[in-house]
Structure 1
Amino acid sequence: MYSYEMMLMIICPLVFCAGFVDAAAGGGGLISLPAYIFAGIPIHIAYGTNKFANCIGTSIASVKFFKSGNIKIKPGILSAVGALIGSWFGTKLVLFLDEKYLRYCLMIILPIVAIFLLFNRRFGSEDYMKELKNKKLYFIAFFIGLIIGAYDGFFGPGTGTFLVLAFTSLLGFNLITASGNAKLVNLASNLSSLVLYILNGKVLYSVGLPAAICAVLGNYLGAYFAIKNGAKVIKPVILLVVIMLFGKVIYSFL
């Protein structure tokens, strides 16, 4: 077990980096959660403390995107509602199915996503949401939240990135708006999980509070650069997260 000071030295810089990545394109949990575990925090407390810091950081990024006008409120709220429902079903599904089947699917899907991002240079550079009628848009938004929320409850890693990709490809949002809406949806699903962790005493506040400050700084800067630079920042970060997630899936089979 590391000393308290050493734990913070391990966790805080990585949580800052995770916040930056998460605000821009999602997937920050691929960086932050291993940091807590590497620092010697028991797995369930690591999950709870990670949720605590991430929720605070994500709320800052959500506010930043909202103030800049890069969140579509109605689709975002409907997706958030869908995510809450989907996450519940996804969590229940864990009791019946082995995660290895989802990992098999991800091994096929993730390389396809990476190739698509590499060769589609205009992906997410324009907003063509107006081509969808409101009812159809809201229907799709709800099911994006429902399906990816179920993924979040069942497996989890890369949820924010998949939300960005879904909002961009299915609703026609540009990457900045997709990132903003993904933050809102992720915040909703994370809050429900955090409540359970808090009620069960699985949050280490002495670590979570300093980590939350780092998460806030990372999320704020990540949102700032994403809003300012758009696809130039977000698209490479998405590709990085997809590669990291693919590596995690491969490693899980070793």
Structure 2
Amino acid sequence: MESLTIYLIVCPLVFLGGFVDSIAGGGGFISLPAYMMSGLPVHMAIGTNKLSSAMGTSLATYRFAKKGYINLKTAIYCAVCALIGSMMGAKTALLIDDKIFKLIMLVILPITGLYVIFNKSLEKNKKEYDEDDFSYKKTLIIGMIVALFIGFYDGFYGPGTGTFLMIALTSFAHMTLNESAGITKVINLTTNITSLCVFLLNGKVMLSVGLIAGFFGIAGNYVGTNLFTDKGVKIVKPLMIVVLSIFFIKLLFEVV
């Protein structure tokens, strides 16, 4: 199963996913399809993607912590909820047959495509939200609920988790932009590691591919961060739509 072809397909696309993620988020919309387009079974693709994603998220979380964007108390409570949600999501995913999972993804992909097309936040490198005051307790409770539900989604499927978290934490929990960015990284790292452990224990991770691809993802993120331009933002949506379209067509042929 582990052939040169897998690396030739996965590594460049995971690099591209890292590049896109650094500009507007949503790099998982490219990286997960990359693993599946290389021929990996659905569960193996999701598990291996968790490994490479966890590598990039670990570095990003460390950088945000150094900048002081992570409120430790909030992060711990949200991380616990994210851990529970992602464990449930990953275990649910493993219960679903490979072909049925592909049928589910045939429904998810068009919805994902519409989200990418109409989501205005993907047109900007930084998101702007109104900041109304909430009590800390209310913000924390809403943040924990968000972590639980999006944690389940990340364990089950995953792409777009960071973007969804940023939008939910700022819009519903009324966190400031910097705080939501930091908590997003903590939640995302927690869900990646938790679901990765579940997939590892079930033998659904290709370690060598995931590790090498992880370094490509980190490199893509680094290049995107340093070469960011407004023109770069404008190509994000077309790139994501092209990859999702190719993936959808491939899945359609496999299922039919």
| TM-score after normalising by structure 1 | 0.72
2:148 maps to 1:149: no
User: CA deviation digits over 1:26-83, x for unaligned, max 9?
Assistant: 4322211221222233333322222111111110111122222333433333222211
CA distance in 1, matches of 2:113, 2:37: 26
What amino acid is aligned across from residue 20 of structure 2 in structure 1? V
Q: Name the structure 1 match of 2:57.
A: 58
Q: Name the structure 2 match of 1:78.
A: 77
Of 186, 192, 203, the match for 2:194: 192
* Match runs of 1:68-217 below 5 Å: 68-91=67-90, 115=118, 117=120, 124-125=127-128, 128=131, 131-175=133-177, 177-217=179-219
CA distance in 1, matches of 2:104, 2:241: 19
Q: Name the structure 2 match of 1:32.
A: 31
Structure 1 runs not aligned, ≥5 long: none
What amino acid is aligned across from residue 183 of structure 2 in structure 1? N
Deviation at 1:145, TM superposition (A): 0.3
What amino acid is aligned across from residue 213 of structure 1 in structure 2? F
User: CA deviation digits over 1:101-148, x for unaligned, max 9?
Assistant: 999799789858965737x99x9325736x121111111111110121
Assess, with a 3 A threshold, how the Cα gap between structure 1 residues 63 and 34 changes in structure 2: closer, same or farther: same
Say whether the 8 Å CA contact 1:60–1:219 is kept in structure 2. Answer: no
CA distance in 2, matches of 1:181, 1:24: 19
Assess, with a 3 A threshold, how the Cα gap between structure 1 residues 209 and 242 changes in structure 2: closer, same or farther: closer
Assess, with a 3 A threshold, how the Cα gap between structure 1 residues 23 and 243 changes in structure 2: closer, same or farther: same
| TM-score after normalising by structure 2 | 0.71
What amino acid is aligned across from residue 216 of structure 2 in structure 1? C
Structure 2 runs not aligned, ≥5 long: none
Say whether the 8 Å CA contact 1:25–1:160 is kept in structure 2. Answer: no
Say whether the 8 Å CA contact 2:129–2:171 is kept in structure 1. Answer: no
CA distance in 2, matches of 1:68, 1:28: 23
Cα RMSD after superposing both structures: 4.2
Assess, with a 3 A threshold, how the Cα gap between structure 1 residues 114 and 42 changes in structure 2: closer, same or farther: closer
Q: Percent identity of the aligned residues?
A: 40
Assess, with a 3 A threshold, how the Cα gap between structure 1 residues 43 and 164 changes in structure 2: closer, same or farther: same
Assess, with a 3 A threshold, how the Cα gap between structure 1 residues 134 and 152 changes in structure 2: closer, same or farther: same
Which shifted more, 46-55 or 25-34?
A: 25-34
Assess, with a 3 A threshold, how the Cα gap between structure 1 residues 72 and 234 changes in structure 2: closer, same or farther: farther
Report the 3-state secondary structure (helix = DSSP H, G, I; strand = E; otherwise coil) of the residue aligned with 1:171: coil
CA distance in 2, matches of 1:209, 1:153: 19
CA distance in 1, matches of 2:207, 2:67: 31
What amino acid is aligned across from residue 131 of structure 2 in structure 1? Y
CA distance in 1, matches of 2:76, 2:23: 20
Say whether the 8 Å CA contact 1:225–1:233 is kept in structure 2. Answer: no
